[in-house]
A = this chain, B = another copy of it.
Amino acid sequence: MDLRIVIMAGGSGTRFWPLSRQKEPKQFLPIISEKTMIEETISRLLPRIPISNISTIANSQQTEMIKRLLPEIPEKNLLVEPQGKNTAPSLMLATAQVYLQNPKAIVAALPADHLIQDSSLFLRRLEAAAAAASSGQHLITFGVPPTYPATGYGYIQFTVENPLRFGEEPFHPVQQFKEKPDLKQAEAFLERGNYYWNSGMFLWQAEVFADKLKQHAPSLFPSWQRILEAMRDTNESRLASVFEEIPSISIDYALMEKAEGTLMGKGDFGWSDVGSWSSLLDIWPQDGQGNALKGETATLDTRRCLVYNPHKFTALIGVQDLIIVDTEDALLIAHKDQDQRVKDVIELLKQKGKKEYL
């Protein structure tokens, strides 16, 4: 089977400010280990996927960083988005490139900045999902069994009975994609049991992707065709202008939510989208008081604090539930339940014209 991995590395998140900056989003940060998240993402694949089958898609600046971090990826596999857009245009571009080489090839679209704790289980599930994708008219997605009623993820409602099996793995027919719910809804989803988190990882056969676009996203299909033409002609400027006209929407919204016959594999491999600093409290090793500490630290009477300060000494005295991130030019201290408000800080910095901190 011809399995091609597309690493979506174009994100520009701000939720890890002040460590993440416009020029250095989360996928380029060493927040899970000593390696950056994109390096982790790729090295997790290498036991089963040859590097020649791994592509990335990102803007030109990000692609330069990828080159530096991962010089082993063949240059032709580094797809450059003509401009930063959402996942629908990116994946149309990436899938078109594969399609022109082999329409029967399977594309696995994986975010560059997710955590997967059990790599070998992930690879097994991935190969089964690739088998499912090559079996016919199915788009494949991974649903993560929820561990709490999260309101920060979308959900996938699926049919529990009679899953299809590929490589002994069950794949469940998807009933519906659900937007991020409120807490009450999320609690109801957990109670019903057939709602998993949408992990944002997808697989499809290149020609099935084309068929599904034609059928369920007809407004995008002409762009798809023009992408193929521009690529065949290696006409970069035409490619850029086609890309520009595609609306900046997610692949979930553009296609996955609308397509029929989608199957969901079980993403029970220790997945997290590592959505904010506080998510690392559950990921980094903790001391006996629930503190997760990167950097030389002394804690007195301190509980449930996260410290990222690898180059300095940090002393904490009598504090609880704090996110503490110290960088060369900025310091963040936030209550762990309010760390998503770093976006308000960034808004404030923009308003004040403090570009140096963005």
A: which residues have CB within 8 A of B?
Answer: 18, 296, 298, 300-301, 309, 312-319, 322, 324, 326, 328-335, 337-339, 341-342, 344-345, 348-349, 354, 357
Instruction: Give chain B residues whose Cβ lies under 8 Å from the Cβ of A354.
Output: 296, 313
Alpha-carbon distance between A277 and B142 when the two chains are bound, in angstroms: 52
B300 in contact with A314 (CB, 8 Å): no
Q: Are A315 and B332 in touch, CB under 8 angstroms?
A: yes
- Residues of B contacting A317 in the complex (Cβ-Cβ under 8 angstroms): 332-335, 338-339, 341-342, 344-345
* Nearest Cβ on chain B to A358's Cβ, whole angstroms: 11
Decide yes or no: A319 and B345 within 8 Å by CB, A312-B329, A330-B314, A357-B313 being known contacts. Answer: no
* Nearest CB in chain B to that of A316: its residue: B333
Identical copies of this chain, number: 2
Residue of B with least CB distance to A17: B315
**Chain B residues in 8 Å Cβ range of A316:** 333-334
Q: Are A331 and B314 in contact (CB under 8 A)?
A: yes
Given the known interface contacts A317-B339, A338-B301, A339-B317, the answer about A333 and B344 at a Cβ–Cβ threshold of 8 Å is no
- A357 and B298 alpha carbons, distance in the complex (Å): 12
B349 contacts A334, C-beta separation under 8 Å: no
Q: A333, B313: Cβ atoms under 8 Å?
A: no
**Complex Cα gap A326–B337 (Å):** 23
* Bound: A357/B300 CA distance, A: 17
Q: Return 27 A-B CB contacts under 8 Å, by A number.
A: A18-B313, A298-B349, A300-B341, A300-B345, A301-B341, A309-B331, A312-B329, A312-B331, A314-B330, A314-B331, A315-B331, A315-B332, A315-B345, A316-B333, A317-B334, A317-B339, A317-B341, A317-B342, A317-B344, A317-B345, A318-B337, A319-B333, A319-B335, A324-B331, A324-B333, A326-B326, A326-B331
Q: Smallest Cβ distance from A321 to chain B, in angstroms? A: 9
Q: Which of A18, A296, A335, A348 has the most CB of B within 10 A?
A: A335
Chain B residue nearest to A335 (CB atoms) is B318
- Which partner residue on chain B sits nearest A348 by CB separation? B298
Contact among B318, B322, B344, B348 with A319 in the assembled complex (CB-CB below 8 Å): B322
Closest to A296 in B: B354
A326 to B331, CA, bound (A): 8
Chain B proximity of A307: nearest CB distance (Å): 9
Q: Which residues of B contact A18 (CB under 8 A)?
A: 313, 315
A4 to B309, CA, bound (A): 49
Q: Give the shortest distance, in Å, between A216 (CB) and chain B (any CB).
A: 42
For the complex of A and B, list the 5 residue pairs with the smallest distance between their C-beta atoms, beginning with the closest.
Answer: A318-B335, A318-B338, A317-B334, A313-B330, A315-B345
Instruction: Output the nearest chain B residue to A334 by Cβ-Cβ distance.
Output: B317
What residues of chain B lie closer than 8 Å to A339, measured between beta carbons? 317
A313 to chain B, nearest CB (A): 4
Q: Is the pair A300, B344 in contact by a Cβ cutoff of 8 Å? A: yes
Residues of B within 8 A of A342 (CB): 315, 317
A298-B348, A319-B333, A326-B331 known, 14 other contacts, Cβ within 8 Å? A298-B345, A309-B331, A313-B330, A313-B357, A314-B332, A315-B331, A315-B334, A315-B342, A316-B334, A317-B332, A317-B339, A317-B342, A318-B334, A324-B331
CB distance from A347 to the nearest CB of B (A): 10
Smallest CB separation, A279 vs chain B (Å): 16
